Structure 1
Amino acid sequence: MRFVEGGAFTMGSEAFYPEERPLRQVAVDGFWIDEAPVTNRDFARFVEATGHRTVAEIAPDPKDYPGMDPAMAKAGSLVFTKTAGPVPLTDYHLWWSFTFGADWRHPYGPDSDLDALDLWDHPVVHVAWGDAAAYARWAGKDLPTEAEHEFAARGGLERKEFAWGDELAPGGQMMANYWQGLFPFSNTLDDGWERTSPVRTFPPNGYGLYDMVGNTWEWTSDWWAENPSRGLKAKESGQSCCAAKNPRGGTLKGSFDPSQPQVRIGRKVIKGGSHLCALNHCQRFRPAARHPEMVDTSTSHIGFRCVVRSGKSARR
């Protein structure tokens, strides 16, 4: 883990998506954060020690999802599949499919495995929020808040769009694992990777942290709120005296529609973007980027890392 000194920073961006606005002054206390995302090797140790079964390994109960087709009540997870050609970018069903038998050990489906694909040092995927939280508890850690994640991702840079500055590929150098070309059918692989990459493949940011943007999205502990400045005031200056201290996200009450029982469990904030973010779709391989994700959902492009806050010691 790396220790990140606390401080004030300008959170958000006004250059991309509305949910990142407005710019606001935020301060966080110092904390330790994993240098890289939790890998398959790390997660395997947790599973061996605890016997934990992930959400993707347990068949959903149709009673929890009114209207569910009983044929879909099987263990599995969402897997990305590249399309044969251009498709409407408004219909994610064209590249995401619920794949029976897909889980963290079998990231592309039941016939794939970590050994054959040499994925032990890649970020673990197909973990729902509860799986990530269970790992964090076992390790004596926590999941980061949205503010902690963004502060760490910025690496000490203020008001820069990427974790290394304002230029996506300075001097032509690939700085993160994201999609080059036209999503979701043509990836030029300028960064060398079709899907996830081993952690620490790309340069660290100013705090010595790897993959804070790109590679995989990362779970945070905060509930989603459409307006991230709820209760905060946008600041024109960078004075830390007026910054919101250690802010938290929305509430579960504000994150679900009671008329839709299947979403009552709510959505958490994910940060950092993934290898599926492209210039023509989901430009979220940036510290300010944020997205909601159902806590019972696992996919082939979401992982996590952990933090330890002041006064708490990690066991592992």
Structure 2
Amino acid sequence: MRNVSALMSMTCLAILPGCDDGPSVGAEELNQRLAQLEEKAKQNMVFIEGGTFTMGDFGAVGEDGVWRPFFPPTAERNKAHTVTLSSYSISNQKTTWEDFDTYLIANDGDVIERVFNEEWKREPFQNVGSSPFYLRNPAQVTWKEANDYCYWLGQRIQLPLALPTSAQWEFAARNRGSTEWIFSTHDGKPLHVHHDLYEQVGEGPEYVPVGSRLPPNPLGIYDMADNGKEWVSDWFSDTWYRDNPEITDPTGPADGTEKVVRNLDFSFSRIGMPESVPTIHSEDRFLVTQFTFRCALQSSTEGTQVE
């Protein structure tokens, strides 16, 4: 992927005769897709009024009067802590393959699929629902690709877009940090209490068109409990929040070896994932880590997302 500083370059955009092996997308079509993407990016932003909440495994007091975490195996890693967030906005949908393919072609990027660490070229904007790259399904990319995409899109619409922080993601997934939201579903309850929804997720494909399977949460945000795990901006640490029990607008550790991934079993659950992981096949055959993502608007002013 080209450096983001060159993202506005229009050299060979895979739209002119003679561009080697590039996808066939005309200049007019590309401009239309860019305009649609920019408008959608602004319209899909949901303003989240800031506040203070208990991030992490906030647990509950049982009938015996004793407080216990909801998930003891990760209670220390997800130790409850007080976080205050400024207002921000977050996309109500994950980034789709259509969005990401538009970004790639606009910047002369390689439109590829990956199997382990090997890559093959593929056609963009695939319109067959059974395709793993169906244009309305969420894009699964590396953390750097997700981060670069949000930065580029922010430059296009002249707004400070970035991946959400882990705290921002959790605050939105829990309906502004509500302790009623043990799970990041539309009502905070596990899916199995909704038989029809549970069957749809359990018996359906892993990825479906964004916003198509489960209801949004009360903030109007889709797919925070379904349709793929999500990258956020923070470096992962087992101890950082334990060492910072009360903090404002946290962005996580200054560095690390893994990035935080959200959208797991509980609304507060998180793991760390590196850019690639080893496999049992050989030292030279590793797995490139790819997950879904959405962008956030790092502005505390309501309404800037639609200027």
TM-score, with length taken from structure 2: 0.65
> Does the 8 Å CA contact 2:170/2:268 hold for their aligned counterparts?
yes
Q: Which has the higher contact order (CA 8 A, sep 6+)?
A: 1
Partner of 2:152: 138
Partner of 2:244: 232
Alpha-carbon distance, 1:100 to partner: 3.5
Give the counterpart of 2:273 among 293, 307, 316: 293
Partner of 1:276: none
Matched, 1:158 2:158: no
Matched, 1:308 2:291: no
Superposition RMSD on alpha carbons, in Å? Answer: 3.0
Partner of 1:247: 250
Q: How does 1:25-174 map to 2 (within 5 A)?
A: 25-53=82-110, 57=112, 77=114, 98=116, 100-101=118-119, 105=122, 114-116=126-128, 117=130, 119-125=134-140, 127-140=141-154, 141-156=161-176, 157-163=178-184, 164-174=187-197
Higher CA-based Rg: 2
TM-score, with length taken from structure 1: 0.63
Alpha-carbon distance, 1:121 to partner: 0.7
Q: Closer, same or farther in 2 for the Cα pair 1:314/1:227, shift >3 Å? A: same
> Does the 8 Å CA contact 1:161/1:287 hold for their aligned counterparts?
yes
Equivalents in 1 of 2:56, 2:50: separation in Å? 18
Unpaired runs of 5+ residues, structure 2, are 1-44, 58-68, 155-160, 278-286
Q: Which amino acid aligns with 1:220?
A: V
Unpaired runs of 5+ residues, structure 1, are 58-75, 79-97, 107-111, 181-188, 234-242, 256-265, 273-283
Q: Secondary structure at the match of 2:232?
A: strand
Alpha-carbon distance, 1:203 to partner: 0.3
> Does the 8 Å CA contact 1:4/1:152 hold for their aligned counterparts?
yes
Q: How many residues get paired?
A: 226
- Higher share of residues assigned helix: 2
Q: Closer, same or farther in 2 for the Cα pair 1:26/1:2, shift >3 Å? A: same
Equivalents in 1 of 2:296, 2:85: separation in Å? 13
Percent identity reads 28
> Does the 8 Å CA contact 1:27/1:244 hold for their aligned counterparts?
yes
Equivalents in 2 of 1:286, 1:177: separation in Å? 19
